[in-house]
Amino acid sequence: MKAQCAECRLKDRVCRVEGGRGPEYCPTLHKGDLVREAVEEYGKPDIHAFARMASIQEAECYVEREIQPYVMHPVKPRVQEICEFAQKMGYRRLGIAFCAGLHAEAGVLEEILEAQGFEVVSVVCKVGGTPKEVLGLTEEEKIYRGRFEPMCSPIAQARILADAETDFNILVGLCVGHDSLFFKYSQAPCTVLVAKDRLLGHNPVAALYTTNTYYQRLKRKGF
């Protein structure tokens, strides 16, 4: 049976509570072999170190953890989380793969990373100025019809950052699909600082928060 954790409404979930319960589609109860195989993967030294630091960083995003019972008190924005994780991993050179629509924000990020002691290499999506016609796009399929329009080149972004031997790459606003290609071709591990949402100020979860009110149409097929 396929896993459907997103539909699980149990309070005593077996994945969260010792001795808890799970529904018939529960992967904790029914995909034990896959979970065990996955856990073995963390035995590899490099994966172990990476995952360990990620989990230490996760906890360090909360304060007053000595107070019991604990009530979550997060204190760090994601950009700080990224800096601290990169420091923990001993990374020196960070890559920024950014969307041309967030050029100013990429500049601010570069300033922040440099202030924290990192060397930064940044590459815009339009790097190379390759025309969209290379992908077979017609005038009607472009944003600006009847004139030159460079394609987004996530593979070139990944290659240029690999050539610079970045230790860790940070995505800033790459489009859906372009980000997928960047993940596929990036040599260094990646994280996302900004998930592009042209309408919602790069806060895509706002549409999910409002599907019972202003974005009800998203739950109808075809929108």
# chain residues binding ligand SF4, by CB under 6 A: 11
In the window 103-142, what residues touch ligand SF4 (CB under 6 A)?
Answer: none
What residues does 192 pair with on adjacent strands?
171
The answer to whether 26 contacts ligand SF4 (rule: CB under 6 A) is yes
Tell me the C-alpha distance between 88 and 184, whole Å.
25
The answer to whether 31 contacts ligand SF4 (rule: CB under 6 A) is no
Query: Residue 17 Cβ, how far from ligand SF4 at the closest point, in Å?
Result: 9
193: burial class by Cβ within 10 Å (0-12, 13-18, 19+)? buried
Residues present in the chain in total: 223
Query: Residue 136 Cβ, how far from ligand SF4 at the closest point, in Å?
Result: 42
Q: Within its chain, how far is the Cα of 129 from the centroid?
A: 26
Query: Residue 37 Cβ, how far from ligand SF4 at the closest point, in Å?
Result: 16
Q: Within its chain, how far is the Cα of 194 from the centroid?
A: 8
In the window 168-187, what residues touch ligand SF4 (CB under 6 A)?
Answer: none
When the beta carbons of 10 and 175 are compared against ligand SF4, the nearer one is 10
On whether the CB atoms of residues 3 and 27 are closer than 8 A, the answer is: yes
Tell me the C-alpha distance between 122 and 170, whole Å.
9
In the window 6-25, what residues touch ligand SF4 (CB under 6 A)?
Answer: 8, 10, 13-15, 22-23
Tell me the C-alpha distance between 59 and 53, whole Å.
10
Site stretch for ligand SF4 (CB under 6 A), options 2-10, 56-64, 126-134, 161-169: 2-10
The answer to whether 204 contacts ligand SF4 (rule: CB under 6 A) is no
When the beta carbons of 13 and 126 are compared against ligand SF4, the nearer one is 13
Tell me the C-alpha distance between 176 and 172, whole Å.
12
Which helix H or strand E contains 121, and what residues bound it?
strand 119-124
Establish whether the linkage from the previous residue to 69 is cis, with ω within 30° of 0.
yes
In angstroms, the Cα distances linking 209 to 72, 74, 93, 196, 199 are: 21, 20, 36, 17, 15
When the beta carbons of 3 and 162 are compared against ligand SF4, the nearer one is 3
When the beta carbons of 13 and 92 are compared against ligand SF4, the nearer one is 13
Query: Residue 163 Cβ, how far from ligand SF4 at the closest point, in Å?
Result: 42
When the beta carbons of 34 and 56 are compared against ligand SF4, the nearer one is 34
When the beta carbons of 1 and 100 are compared against ligand SF4, the nearer one is 1
List residues binding ligand SF4 (CB under 6 A).
Answer: 5, 8, 10, 13-15, 22-23, 26-28
